[in-house]
Amino acid sequence: MAAAPAPAQPRGATAVLVLADGSVIWGQGFGAEGVAVGEVCFNTAMTGYQEVISDPSYAGQIITFTFPHIGNVGANQDDIESPNPHALGCVVREPITPAASFRSTRNFDDWMRAWGRIGISGVDTRALTKRIRGSGAPNGVIAHNRVGNFDLRRLQAQAAGWPGLEGMDLASVISATQNYGWDEGLWTLAGGYALNHSNTNGPHVVAIDYGMKRNILRNLVAAGARVTVVPALATYEDIMALKPDGIFLSNGPGDPAATGSHAVPVIQKLLGAGTPMFGICLGHQLLALSVGARTIKMHQGHRGANHPVKRLDDGRVEITSMNHGFTVDTDTLPPTARATHISLFDGSLAGLELTDKPAFSVQYHPEASPGPQDSHYLFEKFVAGLGRAA
């Protein structure tokens, strides 16, 4: 069905979201001026907007926040998950207000502007979210111009011409370009991030960066590991030269099958060497691809901090944070891979374990601590199983 004629530009509109089907949504701009094209998704988390926008897994995406009050606690240098934000921009309901938090060091509007990220406020995010749930995540263009000058026809052509995330290998684009060590632990109100230089005798974890969140590295350190990060394009020989006791496969953006074209052969060799392995999100999908399973694009994806996951071994439920638009097709798992966790929202696979290799993975983010810390045990399980005293 063709989109309805574009509504006339309201007085004072300085931003617009144009979808591939020609739908036009007006609002007030904040953050940087400019134009960005990507997939429009939604996130249901009530807090953590800085962590979300700086999560590398959101590369190529425009985030609709379902919680209406975004930006109200400002921004700081602690609550970021990568050196720079990766989401293209965000769509919010209420205007950005002055920061109301003792931890804030700058206004959210200023932070978005400094990083070149585009925001639009004044949008009926409930209606947009319902549209995405019904029709799937559309391609769209977000644009901000302080004088309200927009070429809607050109913007719609950009949205319609964008190829979408399927087939995109974004991990190799945003990954680290060289090896580096990590010794920063978890954050506390009293002391900030703890530096742990005492893990020199702990098991050595080599983390492959497909779009790594920093808090994953902090949890590995807190569990007692020595951590070295390597780029997404690191070879089997590069990794084994570091003498790893364990391999971590990180989260990341894009189509896992596209990233798998270079990642899967390396992971298969690592599995063949018997090196223990733990994967999160994209890393979970790449592990599954490495043993012959397939991944598929989801209708709307899972993005938020309130996702219940059931552990199949004991029936307990974890409240988790999720951010993925692809999933592993459970029906394609080989006999040597067993499901360990499922989503209670839709029954999709949320965790697996290999029965013939020391490797396991989860589709959610155990480092994100969405209120409770239900899933931190996974880091302890991984590091404790590496066979060396931490």
What is the rounded CA–CA span in Å between residue 133 and residue 308?
18
- Which member of 39, 51, 353, 367 is catalytic? 367
365 among known catalytic residues:
yes
Q: How far is CA 176 from CA 59, 78, 131, 212, 230, in A?
A: 14, 20, 36, 9, 7
What is the rounded CA–CA span in Å between residue 245 and residue 206?
8
Residue 290 dihedral angles phi and psi, to the nearest 5°? -70, -20
> What DSSP assignment string belongs to 150-207?
--HHHHHHHHHH---STT---HHHHS-SS-EEE-EEEEETTTEEEE---GGGS-EEEE
Cβ atoms of 365 and 303 within 8 Å: the answer is: no
Nearest CA to 91 out of 163, 57, 35, 43 is that of 43
- Which member of 144, 302, 324, 365 is catalytic? 365
Please identify which residue in the block is written with the tokens 């209120």: 371
Cβ atoms of 277 and 247 within 8 Å: the answer is: yes
Nearest CA to 253 out of 139, 167, 349, 182 is that of 167
- Which member of 281, 302, 318, 341 is catalytic? 281
81 among known catalytic residues:
no
Nearest CA to 155 out of 165, 140, 144, 145 is that of 140
Nearest CA to 142 out of 37, 26, 296, 259 is that of 37
Catalogue the active-site residues: 281, 365, 367
